[in-house]
Structure 1
Amino acid sequence: MIYQGNAITVARGLDGGGGDIAMLTIDLKDESVNTLSSAVVEELGQAVEAIRSERGLKGLVIGSAKEAFIVGADITEFHGMFEQGGEVLQRMLETVHGIFNAIEDLPFPTVTAINGLALGGGCELSLTTDFRVMAESAKIGLPETKLGIVPGWGGCVRLPRIIGADNAIEWIAGGTENRADAALKVGAVDAVVPAEELEAAALDILNRANGGELDHRARRDEKTSPLKLDAIEQMMAFETAKGYVAGKAGPHYPAPVEAIKVIQKGAGERRDRAQAIEGKSFVKLAMGDVAFNLVGLFMNDQVVKKKGSRYARQARPVNRAAVLGAGIMGGGIAYQSASRGTPILMKDIKNDAIELGLKEARKLFAKQVERGKLTTAQMAEKLTNIRPTLSYGDFGGVDLVVEAVVENPKVKDAVLTEVEGQVTEDTILASNTSTISINRLAENLKRPENFCGMHFFNPVHRMPLVEVIRGEKTGDAAVAATVAYARAMGKTPIVVNDCPGFLVNRVLFPYFGGFSQLVEQGADFQRVDKVMERFGWPMGPAYLLDVVGMDTAVHAGEVMAEGFPERMAGMAGDRGDGKGKSAIQVMFENDRLGQKNAKGFYAYEEDRKGKPQKVRDEAAIALVRGVAKESREFSDEEIIARMMVPLCLETVRCLEDDIVGSPAEADMALIYGIGFPPFRGGALRYIDAMGLSAFVEQADRLAEELGPLYAPTERLREMAAAGERFYPAGSGD
């Protein structure tokens, strides 16, 4: 044994004979995957020193004992490291570069055997060796730009020199995970073999290198020298790419364009100088808010996934499902279930609705065929997973039923009590409701412990979030089964407790309330939209209301006003306080429902692909002008504060009221459910970034003029006074 650590071992004798080939194996104890934590990096440095001191070696293979090779650096360490400042980051980068360069400079050929995922630092480690062999099922890539940083362990230096600048830009700026065949095609790996032949392929390459057939020294020279591009080629490769990537990434995500600049600046340099350029950019980005928030987002996503996994492990499997109510929503749910392999009955009382649901499912499958994701034969096979029916005949064999009929408590109550008599005592019933209380819908059920909410967001096939709503009498088995089914559908389920609007809509409507008050005081709704879109929302509040539908907004607003009258009375409907009607109510009463009838705050015209495009509408502008009680100019900062403070405060209240279990789940629900700007990390991280004291002061100033919707909670005041945060500093979240 050359070296033995907690995560890394190095032993001679991989060739089974002469013992002149060493095998460095990464196997992080007590973990399901390998990561390059600071402790593992330290071991790697020790292992490389031991290898350099070993006599008689003719080759090195780097491999993994786990299913994945290395999934990257240990991201749980990032926040703590970022908070220590740029000098600490710079020292860390120099340490890793020293270790990786030592591998690259070993006096014999080296090869990495990539058996599974090789991402981030794992990919960068593989690039240090002369050769790479890859299992057919493995994937490789540098996803750092998705975390708001650039590859900092040599990825921006080595990858362009191995696969060319154009390909490297595509991989790094896109943050893609690349299949083995794609990696082989661009030259990122030298061979792709079945997993069981990986070791033999690695040894074969080393033997050929030692025999003079493969020139590993030439490989090294290419990796450590300037890129072979003249001035015109550099301009073509980099300037064009920067413009294209900047357009795709948008102004709030600097890392993809920064990565191209790093490759460009280092193109004419040798290894050490190019790595210094890379390191400088890494530190600059790592010290910014975007990287901090995107890393936090990754950590929050891991929290949500772990909670979902725990529920799913407790659940009975859902082998067959059913959806009550066809149409667009029912068809979307049926498609999502069928496309992920869970057969589903789609029931309605009308043939027309059944046909509409099937049409929706067929349309979504056809798009998958157009994109090359499915063959026609696969589409036909998946469509057989959807079985339309007008009766309850086969409901005795169903494990879970999603009720997705009209958003009316009487209709839902009738349908739920009816279907309960047609299923087994173990069948789970779940209501796809956006606002109606689960406790209320459970009142007439014989087995309320088997009932919960399962709130899908529209359009079902695109929106990742599903709220699983626990009522007072909902049993753990019902929650677990519903979470497991949502995960099987490819969704991200977040469990919340019952209240008006649940989590996402309860938080969204104060945002709409802020918008209504702005318009009432004379703000131009089109300008409000532009300001909030520049802030990072995918669409402004008026545009979002058009997408939601004014009828839906008025109904949900009434539910919210009934549930929280002090804060939310009259936000979407008649204000009921002698102050007239909201802009939303006025739109509704004038049959301006939004995209569904092509007129709302904007008018809508179809583009060449049949998608609705918003255009200015003077009739809508005149209606909104009639709502305004005064004429007033607002700065961008005022608009942002008046929109964001009520949304953030309601998120705080949901956490304090135990509607949602953790800051991580609250923030992820808003990002996945309503498009909260990801680079800002979520509502609670947004408050943390501002500082709780500054946020409370801002909210108090607004509350004096605008009322209880802007008033901080007592607990938030206590947290601010104590210097607390929702996410403790350096905690890794």
Structure 2
Amino acid sequence: MTDAIRYETGADRIVVLTLDLPGQSANTMNAAYREAMAACLSRLIAEKASIAGVIITSAKKTFFAGGDLNELVKVGKPEAQAFYASVLDLKAQLRTLETLGKPVVAAINGAALGGGWEICLACHHRVALDHPSVQIGLPEVTLGLLPGGGGVVRMVRLLGLEQALPYLLEGKKVRPQQALQAGLIDALAADRDELLAKARAWILANPGVAQPWDVKGYRIPGGTSTEPKMAQMLAIMPSILRNKTQGCLPAPEKILCAAVEGAQVDFNTAHLIETRYFTELVTGQVAKNLIGTFWFQLNEIKAGGSRPHGFAQSLTKKVGVLGAGMMGAGIAYVSAVAGIDVVLKDVDLAAAQKGKARSAALLDKKIARGQLTVEQRDATLARIHATGSDADLAGCDLIIEAVFEDRALKAQVSAAAQAVAGPEAVIASNTSTLPITGLATAVPDPSRFIGLHFFSPVEKMPLVEIIKGARTGDETLARAFDFVLQINKTPIVVNDSRGFFTSRVFGTYTSEGIAMLGEGVSAPMIETEARKAGMPVGPLAIADEVSLSLMNHIRVQTAKDLQAEGTAPSEHPAFAVIDVLLNEYKRPGKAAGGGFYDYPTTGSKHLWPGLKSRFEQADGQISPQDVRDRLLFIQALETVRCVEEGVLTSTADANVGSIFGIGFAAWTGGALQFINQYGLPDFVARAQYLAEQYGERFSPPALLLEKAARQELF
């Protein structure tokens, strides 16, 4: 028929449409697909009398990947009308398929996400391969979009509003067994032959079939918004959603609107509503920010964009972790889950076993949630060998030091481990601030020393910042990069400097929030506006988590180092406030029971009332916009300085690292994309205003001024 979709009619008069777009590793809803589907539908209509039914399957490893993001990202406001019409054409194709009058079955042989799942929803029956590689869901919301190929309309009509919303609003993905239990698919198959056999059998047994929503008298499960129970749920949904997104992410709100409004009208009108909201999101800036970072740049990183070329892919078989505290235990856990043998070493066996017990607790939670069997848990735990002896580190190809931020201690444990592991092992430090070049002097061969900065809690945080010291070899960097991918984390690569990239930028966020408090700005306003700017947690709450005493420890260590280098340290205005809390009020942070917040044993945390009387000033209030901008601009400006100094060498690493590592406002697409989408000349002007009002630290760096003058994006 065409290259993109193979059309084959069997002896049983069943047509198999095999999706196989040429020159692509996955099928997408691009122009080639649309043309091929139109041609297939014309032929199906012409041959309708002689066929028994239709099976849709794929020749690729995945079933179908969804919309073509290369196309979508180019659609701007001027193209909105044409785009709207093209989406309606695409949906009309799926409508033709489901109203053909013949049974249509989706034989799902791989992941069916987004547009792929929307094709399946337009089929009368769905059979999936029961394999771990098969995932089903609508992840569009994570890219700032909504399922625009009928996904909202059909999911609501298939499951009802209450059951469909988690898939639509959270982008929830499920494996075949879960999909079967949820009523998303109708049957499972063990292999490809059985998949097609079950599809054929169902077609022959169900010659006359229609979608449930095309049967007269059909009611949406659970009813529409006029049902009392549904009305109650929908009355509070917008406020729950707004509390989560703070109005920064338009997609979840548009999805809720499309779902609820679509449930109250007929099938065709619901599609028009969905398409209007979809067009609004596609042409908006937030979706472009998210697609650029979470799709294109993230894929660039995972494809090895920052990995040195010319080195074969390496596999870490045995990793030694020094220090079984929160970080060390977390690193041991993610390594063991990835199938790597781990030696978890601490000062003695009891301390190491305590660290291993954390892995057991995390695995038990997975068993309780039905995500793991007891056998799988036991196999993972058996890979973690707790010890108090350096001798057990023999044979490790990678050593990760995760002890307290003390240079002498780190040097001591790294040297001892290296002596046992041997000259071939890579030695890494999980430091968040201490320069790697200095730490590398502890081992005989600094070319094998590197920084691997994990984020807490390790099992949840997706990022690892790889820090290249002045003498770190390219082979060492390649091996570290491969290890990070092996444990299913996202690696970003930065050059050595004090605080590297993430800790350095993160420090500006907490310091700016604390500095505003010192100026007299009210604490509740600082915390609220931070969340309205898109930050997941306010700067004062985060400072408590990190602990003011640790921030002070880093400040003292930095001052010492700078003095040793002959540089005079400049004091940030935030430290005057930190000194007051530490010295006058003995409030070092959350772990000690109180910092900027109080942490009662019962009830939730709340801002310490003493902040109001000690710091707040009636004439110290500034506009909410200034609060938000100070918090975002200070981080973006520091990111530019990291680029200017060569700490960062990739825009993808900067954007992905800022969101995954420090929670920079996701709607922006990352710290550098925040500047791009703001417009460089406008960003410079705003930064200059902030510098005049609030201090020299907001002055635009030379690199930013040059790029703005050249109208050049990051």
TM-score (norm 2): 0.91
Match of 1:594 among 589, 614, 621: 589
**Alignment of 1:66 onto 2:25:** no
Paired residues for 1:168-207 under 5 Å: 168-196=164-192, 197-207=194-204
Q: Which whole-Å deviations, capped at 9, do the CAs of 1:275-309 have from their partners, x for residues lacking one?
A: 11211121233333433333233223222222279
Match of 1:303 among 296, 300, 305: 300
The answer as to whether partners of 1:324 and 1:346 remain within 8 angstroms in 2 is yes
Task: Name 1:539's counterpart in structure 2.
Answer: 537
The answer as to whether partners of 2:160 and 2:222 remain within 8 angstroms in 1 is no
Task: Name 2:341's counterpart in structure 1.
Answer: 343
In the TM superposition, residue 536 of structure 1 has moved relative to its aligned partner by 2.1
- Which deviates more from structure 2 when the two are superposed, residues 226-235 or residues 197-206? 226-235
Task: Name 2:380's counterpart in structure 1.
Answer: 382
- Which deviates more from structure 2 when the two are superposed, residues 284-293 or residues 400-409? 284-293
Paired residues for 1:512-661 under 5 Å: 512-558=510-556, 569-571=570-572, 581-590=575-584, 591-607=586-602, 613-619=604-610, 624=615, 631-661=619-649
Letter in 2 for 1:640: R
The answer as to whether partners of 2:225 and 2:264 remain within 8 angstroms in 1 is no
Q: Which whole-Å deviations, capped at 9, do the CAs of 1:115-145 have from their partners, x for residues lacking one?
A: 1111111111122222222211233222222
CA distance in structure 1 between the partners assigned to 2:511 and 2:267 by the alignment: 56
The answer as to whether partners of 2:640 and 2:703 remain within 8 angstroms in 1 is no
CA distance in structure 2 between the partners assigned to 1:374 and 1:661 by the alignment: 40
Task: Name 2:149's counterpart in structure 1.
Answer: 153
Task: Name 1:8's counterpart in structure 2.
Answer: 5
In the TM superposition, residue 113 of structure 1 has moved relative to its aligned partner by 0.8
Q: Which whole-Å deviations, capped at 9, do the CAs of 1:669-722 have from their partners, x for residues lacking one?
A: 111112112123222222222211111011112223444411112221122223
Task: Name 1:237's counterpart in structure 2.
Answer: 230
CA distance in structure 1 between the partners assigned to 2:35 and 2:26 by the alignment: 18
Match of 2:125 among 112, 128, 131: 131
**Alignment of 1:30 onto 2:23:** yes
CA distance in structure 2 between the partners assigned to 1:490 and 1:412 by the alignment: 26
Paired residues for 1:221-620 under 5 Å: 221-222=214-215, 227=220, 234-237=227-230, 240-241=233-234, 243-244=236-237, 246-247=239-240, 249-252=244-247, 253-299=249-295, 300-307=297-304, 314-351=312-349, 353-558=351-556, 569-571=570-572, 581-590=575-584, 591-607=586-602, 613-619=604-610
Task: Name 1:577's counterpart in structure 2.
Answer: none
In the TM superposition, residue 184 of structure 1 has moved relative to its aligned partner by 2.8
Letter in 2 for 1:588: L
Alignment size in residue pairs: 701
In the TM superposition, residue 510 of structure 1 has moved relative to its aligned partner by 2.5
The answer as to whether partners of 1:400 and 1:429 remain within 8 angstroms in 2 is yes
Q: Which whole-Å deviations, capped at 9, do the CAs of 1:639-676 have from their partners, x for residues lacking one?
A: 22222222111111222333223222211111111211
In the TM superposition, residue 75 of structure 1 has moved relative to its aligned partner by 1.9
Letter in 2 for 1:711: S
Secondary structure in 2 matching 1:372: coil
The answer as to whether partners of 2:514 and 2:539 remain within 8 angstroms in 1 is no
Return closer, same or farther for 1:370/1:98 CA change in 2, 3 Å cut-off: closer
Letter in 1 for 2:597: Y
Return closer, same or farther for 1:492/1:230 CA change in 2, 3 Å cut-off: closer
- Which deviates more from structure 2 when the two are superposed, residues 219-228 or residues 616-625? 219-228
CA distance in structure 1 between the partners assigned to 2:259 and 2:34 by the alignment: 25
Letter in 2 for 1:72: G
In the TM superposition, residue 52 of structure 1 has moved relative to its aligned partner by 2.9
The answer as to whether partners of 1:265 and 1:277 remain within 8 angstroms in 2 is yes
Return closer, same or farther for 1:618/1:123 CA change in 2, 3 Å cut-off: closer
CA distance in structure 2 between the partners assigned to 1:487 and 1:641 by the alignment: 35
Secondary structure in 2 matching 1:443: helix
Task: Name 1:111's counterpart in structure 2.
Answer: 105
Secondary structure in 1 matching 2:536: coil
CA distance in structure 1 between the partners assigned to 2:518 and 2:211 by the alignment: 71
In the TM superposition, residue 107 of structure 1 has moved relative to its aligned partner by 4.5
In the TM superposition, residue 502 of structure 1 has moved relative to its aligned partner by 0.7
CA distance in structure 2 between the partners assigned to 1:705 and 1:150 by the alignment: 41
CA distance in structure 1 between the partners assigned to 2:578 and 2:466 by the alignment: 28
CA distance in structure 2 between the partners assigned to 1:120 and 1:99 by the alignment: 17
Task: Name 1:91's counterpart in structure 2.
Answer: 85
Percent identity, please.
32
Secondary structure in 2 matching 1:501: coil
Task: Give unpaired runs (5+ residues) of structure 2.
Answer: none
Task: Name 1:681's counterpart in structure 2.
Answer: 669
CA distance in structure 2 between the partners assigned to 1:218 and 1:435 by the alignment: 59
Letter in 1 for 2:643: L
In the TM superposition, residue 618 of structure 1 has moved relative to its aligned partner by 4.1
In the TM superposition, residue 83 of structure 1 has moved relative to its aligned partner by 5.2
CA distance in structure 1 between the partners assigned to 2:72 and 2:432 by the alignment: 37
Secondary structure in 1 matching 2:467: strand
The answer as to whether partners of 1:223 and 1:271 remain within 8 angstroms in 2 is no
Secondary structure in 2 matching 1:307: coil
CA distance in structure 2 between the partners assigned to 1:283 and 1:205 by the alignment: 37
The answer as to whether partners of 1:513 and 1:568 remain within 8 angstroms in 2 is no
TM-score (norm 1): 0.88
